[in-house]
Amino acid sequence: MSVLRLSVVEYLNARPLVVGLDRRADRFSVEFDVPSRCAARLHEGSADLGTIPSVEYLRGDGYRVVPGVAIGCDGPVASVAIFSARPIERVRTLALDIHSRTSVALARILCARYFSIAPEMRPMPQDPSAMLRACDAAVVIGDAALFFDHAAAGVEKIDLGDAWRAFTGLPFVFAFWAGRRGRVTPDDVRALQAARDEAVASPDAVASSFFPDDAARAARGARYLRDNVIYGFSERQLQGVNRFYREAAELSLVPGYREPEFY
């Protein structure tokens, strides 16, 4: 059996999905990258399985999803936000993190459906300070959003996980394992689920390993993994995904609506 090539988001919140997989080098090889690149590698065929932004499932063909494992939230997520220098209803220009796919689509949906604004959207490199110098507000994701000191910068932080739940009453799923039909075995699924379970039981160890030289960030990261991120994929999470897909399709952000299919 050939080694399964995994493309994994490089942020802290994805590390719980690969804990212990280094002990299965006979079956898994892991490469870390930004979310947009994880999706691109799966689409181009240089990865067999990726922690892809959930919106990218609709931009691929013939994918299946690993059941029971995702990166999501049910309320505040802390690591996906609009940082705004003015009240959200007065935002006219919005910088978009070029590393993001799902969070950009989420921001577009919330602007149209929840905040009732239509700002000019400007894709930009991930740099909160530079983005806010160029625009009224900025969509920032991952560790950059988690650790950006918005109070010191004099801007408001609008948590997009919190806004989605206020809008829909549902959880949000930012990413999940997806791959091509026939490449993932039942043993692989069990191994990926076991990695998730091992990490969820030890958030302090995961965060300390990710920030070995920064105790303060490790402590903040552990709280985030414990209190903000949900790593399951229950029926309630699936309802959130399907609502997101319908909203995205209605706004022509994706080719069309379809529900996820699982291994």
**Assigned architecture for domain 80-168:** 3-Layer(aba) Sandwich (3.40)
Give the percent of the chain with pLDDT over 70. 100
* Same fold yes or no, 4-72+172-250 and 80-168: yes
Q: Where are the domains of the chain?
A: 4-72+172-250, 80-168
Task: Classify domain 4-72+172-250 at the CATH class level.
Answer: alpha beta
**114: DSSP letter:** I
**Residue 2 clears pLDDT 90, i.e. is over it:** no
Torsion of CA 55, 57, 58, 59, to 10 degrees: 100
Give the percent of the chain with pLDDT over 90. 93
Band of residue 1 on the pLDDT scale cut at 50, 70, 90:
low
pTM of the model: 0.95
Q: What angle do CA 247, 251, 88 make, to 5 degrees?
A: 85
Q: Is 2 exposed, middle or buried (0-12, 13-18, 19+ CB in 10 A)?
A: exposed
Q: Which residue has the tokens 């070029």?
A: 98
Q: What angle do CA 61, 64, 69 make, to 5 degrees?
A: 135
What is the overall mean pLDDT for the chain? 96
Q: In terms of Cα–Cα distance, which of 52, 127, 75 is closest to 96?
A: 127
Residue at 165: amino acid letter: R
